[in-house]
Amino acid sequence: MCDDSLSLQDFQQLSSFRYQLRCFLRHSEDVCRQHGVTPLQYQLLLHLLGGRERQWASIGELAERLQAKHHGTVMLVDRCEQSGLVKRAPGREDRRRSEVHLLPRGAELARLIATEHQPELRQFKDRFSRIDKSGLLSTFG
């Protein structure tokens, strides 16, 4: 069902938001590939580095952060483990549950890529502050 209450300005803001988001993501994809990882591998590393106060995450937690299926996240962790970016260990409290730990190489790579994202991220936030005249995007931050 279509909502006729949306104005032209609403559509323009949504269009601008999607465009700016895509520009940021495209830049991010390019930076990741320049460092030899896929964007999903970087996101996994990023979530391990900045996701929780502890030094590891479960597959289920990573799947939630990535908005991915459990089996897809297992395969992603496998690839990151083969590349020496993470290691999997049996859970301390529940041995059936795996803990995914960031290895030094993965942490270094995540920090390097995150640093390269900072100028683009600042531009991204500046662009949104200019298009957010009506408060539509005020929760973006």
Which domains does the chain show, CATH number per domain? 34-130 (1.10.10.10)
CA distance 64 to 128: 26
Residues present in the chain in total: 141
What pTM was estimated for this model as a whole? 0.81
State pLDDT tens for residues 41-90. Answer: 999 999 999 877 788 999 999 999 999 999 999 999 999 999 999 999 98
Q: φ, ψ for residue 102 (rounded to 5)?
A: -80, 130
State pLDDT tens for residues 79-101. Answer: 999 999 999 998 787 777 889 99
